[in-house]
Amino acid sequence: MTSVGTAPAGRTPAVMVLGTHSNAGKSVVATGLCRLLARRGYRVAPFKAQNMSNNAGVTAAGGEMGRAQFVQAEAAGIEPHTDMNPVLLKPEAGHRSQIIVDGVVYGHLDASNWRELKPMLWRHVRAAYDRLAQRFDVIVLEGAGSPAEINLKAEDMVNLAMARHAAAPCLLVGDIDRGGVFAALAGTMLVLEPEERRQVKGLLINKFRGDPALLGDALERLRELAFDTPCLGVLPYLPNLAIAAEDAESFSTAGSLPATCDIAVVQVPHIANFDDFDPLVHEPGVRLRWVRHPQQLGSPAAVILPGTKATLADLAWMRSLGWDGAIHKALAGGTQVVGVCGGLQMLGNVITDPDGVESNPGASSPGLGLLQVETSFRRGKQTSQAVLQVGTERIEGYEIHAGATTRAPGTKPFGHIVRRSGTDVDVEDGAVGHGGAVWGTYLHGIFHHQGFRRHWLQDVGWQGQEGIVTSVPDVEYDRVADAVEAAVGWPLLESFLFTTD
């Protein structure tokens, strides 16, 4: 056994966070570990072999990767790099996904070509990890879904296969808040093969409300059921956690003050970059809610059409439910209408797809007709970090979109992109219509800018207090790190990372 604080020979110290299911808390626990290790002086980096999510971000070099690893890199105090998430699958319409490899669009994935593509993807995954491991002291790996899906294990390169490549001991996280955590943890261990069980060195119970002493001897019983795998700690439920999530299911309304401003976000089937709206959730006095059917809309101060990975398909979905008429009616009743990225495109007059980027070549659809713009999809993507000038505000964000949107003569842009990928530019962005009651932009992250966000909220009737400062990422990262450290203890975590049998 090597000494604490010394990496086993030939291995960059690493730990993998697995989950009993999606949304067990893998991303948050990994974020907390990144922050905790960074505070202890280690150069730490996150890694997830493959993400399946439309919640993506853009690195300084213009590469796409999952937002969860962006968050974890930020918690670690480092710049995001596509080596941290070498494969990103972005679900589209028709049961296919766009494949992003090392930050760049590679092609499309469906049931017919997965086995053909997997060897190539696995090579890229291992190479990316090896490059990362050469540059950092410690790597925190995140798994996907569950490692015990018996129908997927043979093809799974994200969980235990990746842990073996990294020689990383594994933590298995279960969510007690949703119920059944003991069965989930013990059942996962039961389904694993003996050699796979040996990779799992400890269990974590996540999202516990109350005093862990109330669990009595349940943890010892769990250890017996889980093939003598110890429970290393019980993490508390952290309410109103302002950290970007990987899945839209995690979106929730927070806040302790009475709502004075009701905002609705249309939850289209292929929603992308939904964390654009997280800062609105945490503003005091704002009620932000998902709506899927026009009957849920009511009379909000604003309705937002978010980004989407399948604009034409989601536009057809909206029209089939009567959203076109509902949004026109809401606008007439005083509701402001906002579109971000794909939402901007849908608010226009027409969308065409001559090259078959999203659908069949030559496909087209009328838009909602609320902005005097037209969009044409073309091969190739605009992916860049960007700065948008809107009035006196300079707003940092990022662009991820296919195609180009043109304004009709006399239609005002929403703002000007003044910096893109580190280079000064002057590019008109988005559009404004109906006297400012309708607007759209391609910039993701616009609501993360506090000055713009609060001026816009006041414009739609918010009565919040300017002096209140909403949660900032550093505070939230420390909050998670503190919870992990308190539940497990640094000596045990350090031993777990740097000691091997």
DSSP-assigned states of every residue in 401-418? EEEEEEEPTTPPPSEEEE
Give me the pLDDT at residue 245, please: 63
In a domain, 7, yes or no: no
In a domain, 2, yes or no: no
In a domain, 3, yes or no: no
Beta bridge pairs of residue 174: 205
- In sequence order, what DSSP letters do the residues of 281-302 get, joined into one string? HTSTTEEEEEE-SGGGT-S-SE
Give me the pLDDT at residue 111, please: 72
> CA triplet 189, 87, 395: central angle to 5 degrees?
115
CA atoms within 13 A on the CB side of 134: 7
Question: Are 313 and 429 found together in one domain?
Answer: yes
Question: Are 481 and 404 found together in one domain?
Answer: no
Give me the pLDDT at residue 256, please: 43
d(CA 15, CA 30): 9
Give me the pLDDT at residue 471, please: 55
Phi, psi at residue 191, to the nearest 5°? Answer: -75, -25
Beta bridge pairs of residue 303: 264, 337
Helices 473-488 & 26-39 angle (0-180, nearest 10): 90
d(CA 418, CA 426): 5
Question: Are 341 and 227 found together in one domain?
Answer: no
d(CA 278, CA 252): 9
Where is 498: in which H helix or E strand? helix 490-498
Question: Are 489 and 399 found together in one domain?
Answer: no
CATH code for position 379: 3.40.50.880
d(CA 66, CA 76): 16
CATH code for position 40: 3.40.50.300
Question: Are 352 and 445 found together in one domain?
Answer: yes
pTM for the full predicted model: 0.84
Nearest to 308 by CA among 144, 449, 452, 442: 442
In a domain, 379, yes or no: yes
Give me the pLDDT at residue 210, please: 87
The parent domain of residue 260 ranges over 248-470
The active-site residue, picked from 81, 270, 401, 444, is 444
Phi, psi at residue 495, to the nearest 5°? Answer: -65, -40
Question: Are 156 and 267 found together in one domain?
Answer: no
Say whether 444 is catalytic.
yes
In a domain, 199, yes or no: yes
Say whether 170 is catalytic.
no
SS3 call for 156: coil
In a domain, 60, yes or no: yes
> CA triplet 259, 260, 262: central angle to 5 degrees?
80
d(CA 388, CA 418): 6
Phi, psi at residue 264, to the nearest 5°? Answer: -110, 135
The number of folded domains in the chain is 2
Nearest to 105 by CA among 48, 63, 166: 63
Question: Are 230 and 277 found together in one domain?
Answer: no
Question: Are 210 and 287 found together in one domain?
Answer: no
In a domain, 6, yes or no: no
Task: Count the neighbouring beta carbons within 10 Å of the beta carbon of residue 166.
Answer: 23
In a domain, 405, yes or no: yes
d(CA 329, CA 290): 19
Question: Are 362 and 222 found together in one domain?
Answer: no
Give me the pLDDT at residue 7, please: 40
Give me the pLDDT at residue 252, please: 45
d(CA 100, CA 139): 22
d(CA 85, CA 194): 29
SS3 call for 483: helix
The active-site residue, picked from 341, 401, 448, 449, is 341
Q: Are 345 and 314 in contact (CB under 8 A)?
A: no
Tokens of 58: 């853009």
Tens digit of pLDDT per residue, the chain (501 long)?
Answer: 222 333 444 689 999 999 999 989 999 999 999 999 999 999 999 999 999 988 899 999 999 999 999 999 999 999 999 999 999 999 887 778 899 999 999 988 887 787 888 899 999 999 999 999 999 999 999 999 999 998 888 889 999 999 999 999 999 999 999 999 999 999 999 999 999 999 999 999 999 998 888 898 999 999 999 999 999 999 999 987 877 666 554 444 444 456 789 999 999 999 998 889 988 988 888 999 999 999 999 999 999 999 999 999 999 999 999 999 999 999 999 999 999 999 999 999 999 999 888 888 888 999 999 999 999 998 888 999 999 999 999 999 999 998 899 999 999 999 999 999 999 999 999 999 999 999 999 999 999 999 999 999 999 999 876 655 555 678 899 999 999 999 999 998 888 887 655
Question: Are 285 and 367 found together in one domain?
Answer: yes
Phi, psi at residue 413, to the nearest 5°? Answer: -70, 160
Question: Are 296 and 432 found together in one domain?
Answer: yes
Give me the pLDDT at residue 10, please: 63
Tokens of 79: 């710049």
Question: Are 426 and 388 found together in one domain?
Answer: yes
What torsion, rounded to 10 degrees, do the Cα atoms 174, 180, 186, 190 define?
-110
